Amino acid sequence: MSEVAIGTGSTSGESDTALASEVARTVVATTEPETPSVFVAGFFGSAEANGQDITEVGVYAGDWLLNHATFPAKSKDSQTTLTVEITLTFSAV
């Protein structure tokens, strides 16, 4: 896992290859493996994604979108930093 992206899209699906409307991307700040899960965190500073109502997040490995989710809007401005924390859990199919 290399990057965390945030956006303003309102839908997510299993076949997505990108966020619906990406507004910022940052390198993964923390990766903590804990079988069968991995904790990932990304940090967006006060100069990033300002004036946006953030509603989606995705985790990338290079160009591959690994996970994508939407949530109720979180407003972002220059007075706000944003830390995204995601736990991915894997299971055998």
- Work out the average pLDDT over 6-32: 93
Q: Is the pLDDT of residue 30 over 90?
A: no
Q: Which of 46, 66, 59, 78 is nearest to 7 (CA)?
A: 59
The answer, as to whether pTM is greater than 0.85, is yes
Q: Is the pLDDT of residue 71 over 90?
A: yes
The pLDDT value recorded for residue 35 is 86
The pLDDT value recorded for residue 64 is 94
The token pair at 76 is 């972002």
